[in-house]
Chains A and B, each alone.
Chain A
Amino acid sequence: MEDLLIFLQQLINGISLGSIYALIALGYTMVYGIIKLINFAHGDIYMVGAYVGFFAITKLNMSFIPALLTSMVLCSILGIIIERMAYKPLRNATRIAALITAIGVSLLLEYGGMLIVTPQPRAFPEVFPQTKISFFEGKVYMTNQQLVIFAVTLILMVLLQFIVYKTKTGKAMRAVSFDKDAALLMGININNTISATFAIGSALAAAAGVLVGIYYTSISPLMGIIPGLKAFVAAVLGGIGIIPGAVVGGFLMGIIEALVSGYGASTWRDAVAFGILILILIIKPSGIFGANIREKV
């Protein structure tokens, strides 16, 4: 019984953490789907998102939702600018050139960020005073912050689903991901479609940044590195380029990490994450949802 309760508790923690990974992984996977680039700067967008949220709340006295939206909007613009300036000129270059550029953009955001906001970690303000919802006589609980994270993630995912499957932009995104030349023949504007993809992916990462702020309460300019890498693993786990794959991969990563920590091996949790990457690459490089041979959207 005790074991089961610990498991339940870690499942709740894992879903919260997994929400964050899933939100970041979505951006990785959408960008990969459309321009076949692993955008290593994506984790840093999440960091910028956390800072925008931080300043919106502390300096502009915004409440949670306006701060979240501000952060999402500013980061989508940042995502578009990064794509136009850094990646677009390399669209016909080798993949490795674009990849190295992405690492460069990532370093620029990290160290540029340090310059602007100082390397000092900052305490994220308590937006929601913590209360606990208890189950099983308090042996298992969920904080209201976890509830907010999960709710916001769910809403964003439904919204994303709607955009990708029901709107013209979403259809264009799927068409361009599948076959660029055929999409051009339909009259689809490839550049705008790629921009839209970066905007959406960056907005989701920004939301993850603000959510992580209220959950872990501490933010710093290098905070994007490890979650960024783990979200990347999540995207690969689900099948890179496949949207539902990123969601499932993200939640799985979060749950596995929480379980590893919960059973007293918390120093191993990062190692486990990257162990998973190695395992997928050996067993099924195309990921859970991936077709076996072809790489596809």
Chain B
Amino acid sequence: MLKVNNINVYYGAIHAIKGVSLEVKEGAIVTLIGANGAGKSTILKTISGLLRPKTGEIVYEGKKLNTMEAQDIVRSGVCQVPEGRRVFANMSVLENLELGAFLRKDKVQIKEDLEKVFEKFPRLKERMTQLAGTLSGGEQQMLAIGRAMMSRPRLMLLDEPSMGLAPLLVKEIFSIIKEINLSGTTILLVEQNAHMALSIANYAYVLETGKIVLEGPAKELAESEQVKKAYLGG
């Protein structure tokens, strides 16, 4: 479904991503794990069109994302839940969800999807008219995920959804990600929390300072000595 072919991404002179290739198969949960500063967010931003690779290409269902505008990438079904949630704090929960459906014109289905989001996150329904900035961290993460669902993505990119959340909430968020996947959305999940990520993913990549150093089925990686040592606390 998505193929990243040997991309190089720079911030000015800083060479942040050094020849990364990865693949996400339709229906899968693929995870990209790595330490802080490894370049995980840079890869997701490049897929979403916020950054351009200097060389290499990103192909999604035959379309070259690396030459497309961010809005066309969203329109073609790739949506991102960014690191740090990035909800519009000065707008209501409902307005945030409506912005998720910004490119859609099918009013009836938008309403249905809104109901689906509220079913999944009843707390968002209770806080519908509240400003997003007043929500707790966990609720903001739910809002960010709900907002992404509102675009009816076929591929959802999630950037560290567990960041800063209590263990119980992390569990909840991960089971929701699993549910979203089961209902037909392919997932590319970026995490520092390797343990949780590997437990729900089918396939995994390990990123270190801008390079993929290891890849394989998530179960195998979870057993590998190298991963255990570096990412699973021994």
Contacts and interface: CB of A to CB of B under 8 A. Distances in A.
Contact of A185 (B80, B89, B98): B80
Given A168-B102, A171-B99, A178 B70 contact: no
Interface stretch (A151-159, A186-194, A277-285): A186-194
B50 A187 contact: no
A45 interface: no
Interface string A81-92: 000000000000
B103 interface: yes
A181 interface: yes
B178 to A, nearest CB: 23
Interface string B149-177: 00100000000000000000000000000
B102 A178 contact: no
Interface in A166-188: 168, 171-172, 174-175, 178-179, 181-188
Contacts of A139: none
B70 A187 contact: yes
Contacts, number: 63
B71 A188 contact: yes
A185 B82 contact: yes
A92 B95 CA distance: 29
A171 B90 contact: no
B3 to A, nearest CB: 21
A182 B88 contact: yes
A297 interface: yes
A296 interface: yes
B50 A181 contact: yes
B110 to A, nearest CB: 12
B50 A186 contact: no
Query: Which of A175, A179, A184, A186: most chain B Cβ within 10 A?
Result: A186
Given A168-B102, A187-B103, A179 B71 contact: no
A200 B100 CA distance: 24
Given A168-B102, A172-B102, A181-B50, A187 B71 contact: yes
B53 interface: no
Contact of A187 (B74, B82, B90): B74
A55 B33 CA distance: 66
Contact of B90 (A178, A181, A188, A189): A178
A171 B82 contact: no
Nearest to B98: A171
A178 B91 CA distance: 10
B74 A174 contact: no
B70 A185 contact: yes
A168 to B, nearest CB: 7
A289 to B, nearest CB: 12
Contacts of B86: 179, 181-182, 185
A181 B102 contact: no
A189 B103 CA distance: 10
Contacts of B89: 178
Q: Shortest 5 CB-CB distances between A and B: which pairs?
A: A187-B74, A182-B86, A187-B103, A184-B70, A187-B71
5 contacts: A182-B82, A182-B86, A185-B74, A186-B102, A188-B102
Given A182-B88, A186-B74, 16 more contacts: A174-B91, A175-B88, A175-B91, A178-B89, A178-B90, A178-B91, A179-B86, A179-B88, A182-B82, A182-B87, A183-B99, A185-B86, A186-B151, A187-B70, A187-B103, A188-B99
